[in-house]
Structure formats: structure tokens, C-alpha cells
Copies of this chain bind each other. A is one copy, B any other.
Amino acid sequence: MDISAKTDYAVRALLTLADAQRTDARPVPAEVLAEQQDLPRKFLEAILADLRRAGLVTSVRGAAGGYRLARPAGQILLGAVFRAVDGPLAEVRGLRPHETAYTGAAQHLPTVWVAVRASLRRVLDEVSVEDVLSGKLPAHVRRLLAAEDAWASR
């Protein structure tokens, strides 16, 4: 699982947007988002375009323009952000996990790939931008973090 710079930037931009909207309803220019999280502005623009096409943000053109969350931060799931900028959560050689097929000793492998995807969904489709902003993650996610070596390398 390589979380791309694109996805990382997208989440950070949305967090910054969510934070700004708590005190100010005006749209936030890409330039400001880029500054606050130290992101390359032109690249960020392309990412915001993806997020707009996916319906996660809305944009306002012209002077005093910028970006807004398309809905409350609590209703924007990280899974949606991943899919918007990087496509499906899990793929195996370009196939969706449930589309893979094998013969012989590898017969049951699709089950494993589907389980991998399901475990990603359990995190990404149940954590919202609001959750991350406030640091209050769902209980079952906190339970994952409680594993003794969750913060250690392997």
C-alpha cells in the first residue's frame, strides 16, 4: 500500500478546508491551502479538480473565489478521497479483488484479496475528515491503534 503524494495532499487540503470553514464561510483559494500545508500550488490545483469532479468540494471562480467542502466534514469519508484521486482502494494487477481468478493451489486467493480490501474499508470508509480534524477516531479504529506495536516498524 503506497499512499501517494496525491492522496496525502488531497486529505491535507480537505482538512485545512474543513478547519477554515469552522470560523469563516468564504471559499478558500488554492494558494492559501498550498501555503498552510506547504504543497506545490499547481499540483494541488489538479488535485482539487479531481475532488471537485468527485463532488467532494465545490469551487467558486473569479476574485474572492476558492474552494469549499461540498458537504459537512463529518460526511466526507477518507475512502471517497482515495477513490477520487487514486481510483479503487485495492487492485491486483489492475483487477478488482473480486474479479481475480486462479486455478490449482491458488484457488482461494481471491478471498484473501477481498479480505484485504475489506480491512481497508473498515478504516477508510468509516473515518471522516471531521474525525481526523478533531482526532476523535471511531472506537474500532482506536482499537487497531492499541495493538502494542502499532507504532513500530516490522
Interface residues of chain A, those whose CB is within 8 Å of chain B, are 1-5, 8, 11-12, 15-16, 18-19, 36-37, 78-79, 83, 88-93, 96, 98, 102-109, 111-125, 127, 132-135, 137, 141, 144-145, 147, 150-154
Contacts and interface: CB of A to CB of B under 8 A. Distances in A.
Nearest to A6: B93
B144 A2 contact: no
A118 B102 contact: no
B123 A119 contact: yes
A134 B105 CA distance: 9
Contacts of A145: 111, 114-115, 118
Contacts of A16: 104-106
Given A15-B106, A112-B78, A1 B90 contact: yes
B11 A106 contact: yes
